[in-house]
């Protein structure tokens, strides 16, 4: 695991409670999961911008057959 940074964050109590109920985890794990989702969302946005602009050398059928 990479070096961790300790931060102080103020969040609405209700938001934290709902997030913890949704994740089923403690405060630290819930916040880490939330940060990972934000980072993944950015990557997904960049991938969506490439939609229709990338050509593959193999067909979908070839990719499925190669599983």
For the stretch 14-60, pLDDT in tens is 999 999 999 999 999 999 999 999 999 988 898 889 888 888 788 88
Identify the pLDDT of residue 15.
96
Q: Which residues contact 26 (CB under 8 A, 6 or more apart)?
A: 20
Q: Which of 24, 28, 36 is nearest to 9 (CA)?
A: 28
pLDDT of residue 35: 94
Q: How confident is the model at residue 1 (pLDDT cuts 50, 70, 90)?
A: low
Domain ranges in the chain are 13-65
Please give the pLDDT value at position 51.
87
């Amino acid at each position: 695991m990479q070096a961790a940074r300790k931060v102080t964050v103020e969040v609405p109590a209700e938001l934290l409670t709902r997030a913890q109920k949704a994740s089923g985890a403690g405060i630290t794990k819930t916040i880490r999961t939330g940060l990972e989702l934000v980072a993944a969302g950015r990557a997904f946005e960049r991938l969506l911008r490439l939609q229709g602009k990338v050509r593959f050398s193999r067909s979908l059928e070839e990719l499925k057959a190669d599983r």
